């Protein structure tokens, strides 16, 4: 018989190797899926993971897009990882992402057609506050009434989606848009736009903020008392209480920080690549960032690399849909496989596989 035997302490080797093994298993399982869909599995895997970076026919477009797609994923995942490390489960980053975009975008539209240089910084501040305020709802309900932050934050995503649709169809709809849903195009309103900082690189303020967030999180977790409290709470809540950690403050900080970063990601996305507040503005970044956080082992540098990898699946997936006719659902399934295989392989970090009969004690 096959059984699992708990290790005396987690294996560092398996902890480091599991993300790589999860990616390999995802490619294998994805290849089988593509074969069932009647596509050449090797061509499909190459199109998704290789061509966007190394095929010169597509690389000139795909390489800058890698940073464009990775920016919001990294920014949101960094915020989520702080809470996940402390056992605080914010599953509603998608809602905070939406509210940050709507709140910050509304400020820019309110000043149209002013070209003041203060408009975009004000939009950034309001976008961050919007995400923070939306995250404070599950935070307050958790600290005051001991509600489950997983359910509350998740359900708030659907509320945020309805607010987004309402704004795109009503208050923020472009009055010059001929009745079509959606706001004015921020890319055509220079005071409220988030253009590339270096032409042809894909780098905009959202990408810069994502890299700053990686550095901030690394310093916080490794050089600051608060980071120690976050790690201690996740590893041993009882020891954290004995050490004087105040759990309610930690909940408010972690949820608030993740809300701020998700709100910023939404604001930078709506004023940059997306261009406008529309019904389908939200593209699932808040949920995909959960995969990025765990694939990166909740470590800032790991999240940076995982964000780039997940962005590659977005770009390669779009390319595979265009070149090979693969359905979008198949690409989303491949992205979900990454988390599935990571969690499956992660078991080996804490358990050994044993063959034979269990010893009778």
Does residue 81 lie within any of the structural domains? Answer: yes
Nearest CA to 319 among 5, 47, 6?
47
Q: The domain containing residue 185 runs over which residues?
A: 60-312
Cβ contacts of 273 within 8 Å, gap of 6 or more: 68, 204
The pTM of the full predicted model, rounded to 2 decimals, is 0.93
In total, the chain counts a number of residues equal to 361
pLDDT for the residue 61: 83
At residue 44, does pLDDT exceed 70? yes
Residues 335-359 have pLDDT tens digits of 889 888 988 888 888 888 888 665 5
At residue 361, does pLDDT exceed 80? no
Query: In which region does residue 318 sit, left (phi positive, over 0), alpha (psi from -120 to 50) or beta (all else)?
Result: alpha
Sign of CA dihedral 198, 202, 205, 207: negative
Does residue 213 lie within any of the structural domains? Answer: yes
Is 38 in contact with 326 (CB distance < 8 Å)?
no
CATH of the domain at 265: 1.10.3470.10
Does residue 344 lie within any of the structural domains? Answer: no
Residues 155-183 have pLDDT tens digits of 999 999 999 999 999 999 999 888 889 99
Q: Structurally, how many domains does the chain consist of? A: 1
Does residue 201 lie within any of the structural domains? Answer: yes
Average pLDDT estimate for 146-158: 96
At residue 332, does pLDDT exceed 60? yes
In whole angstroms, give the CA distance from residue 295 to residue 307: 9
At residue 269, does pLDDT exceed 90? yes
Average pLDDT estimate for 260-266: 98
> Looking at the DSSP assignment, which residues form a beta bridge with residue 353?
4
Nearest CA to 173 among 126, 112, 226, 120?
112
Residues 199-236 have pLDDT tens digits of 888 999 999 999 999 999 999 999 999 999 999 998 88
Does residue 326 lie within any of the structural domains? Answer: no
Model confidence at 128, pLDDT cuts 50, 70, 90, reads very high
Does residue 318 lie within any of the structural domains? Answer: no
Does residue 8 lie within any of the structural domains? Answer: no
Does residue 139 lie within any of the structural domains? Answer: yes
In whole angstroms, give the CA distance from residue 149 to residue 141: 8
């Amino acid at each position: 018989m096959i059984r699992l035997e708990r290790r005396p302490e987690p294996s560092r080797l398996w902890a480091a190797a599991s993300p790589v093994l999860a990616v390999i298993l995802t490619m294998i399982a994805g290849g089988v899926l593509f074969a069932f869909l009647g596509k050449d599995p090797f061509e499909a895997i190459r199109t998704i993971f290789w061509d966007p970076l190394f095929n010169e026919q597509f690389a000139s477009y795909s390489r800058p897009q890698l940073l464009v797609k990775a920016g919001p994923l990294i920014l949101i995942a960094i915020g989520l990882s702080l809470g996940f490390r402390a056992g605080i489960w914010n599953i509603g980053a998608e809602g905070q992402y939406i509210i940050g975009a709507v709140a910050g975008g509304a400020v820019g539209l309110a000043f149209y057609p002013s070209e003041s240089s203060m408009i975009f910084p004000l939009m950034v501040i309001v976008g961050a506050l919007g995400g923070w305020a939306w995250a404070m709802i599950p935070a307050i309900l958790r600290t005051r009434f001991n509600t489950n932050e997983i359910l509350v934050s998740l359900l708030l995503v659907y509320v945020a989606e309805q607010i987004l649709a309402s704004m795109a169809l009503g208050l923020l709809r472009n009055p010059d848009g001929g009745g079509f849903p959606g706001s004015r195009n921020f890319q055509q309103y220079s005071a409220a736009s988030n253009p590339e900082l270096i032409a042809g690189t894909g780098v905009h303020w959202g990408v810069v903020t994502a890299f700053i967030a990686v550095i901030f999180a690394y310093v916080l977790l490794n050089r600051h008392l608060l980071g120690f409290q976050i790690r201690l709470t996740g590893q041993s809540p009882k020891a954290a209480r004995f050490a004087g950690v105040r759990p309610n403050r930690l909940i408010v900080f972690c949820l608030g920080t993740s809300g701020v970063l998700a709100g910023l990601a939404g604001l930078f996305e709506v004023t940059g690549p997306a261009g406008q507040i529309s019904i389908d503005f939200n593209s699932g970044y808040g949920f995909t960032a959960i995969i990025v956080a765990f694939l990166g082992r909740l470590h800032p540098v790991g999240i940076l690399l995982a964000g780039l990898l997940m962005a590659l699946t977005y770009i390669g997936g779009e390319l595979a849909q265009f070149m090979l006719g693969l359905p979008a659902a198949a690409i989303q399934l491949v992205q979900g496989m990454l988390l599935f295989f990571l969690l499956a392989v992660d078991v080996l970090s804490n358990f050994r596989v044993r063959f034979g009969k269990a010893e009778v004690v």
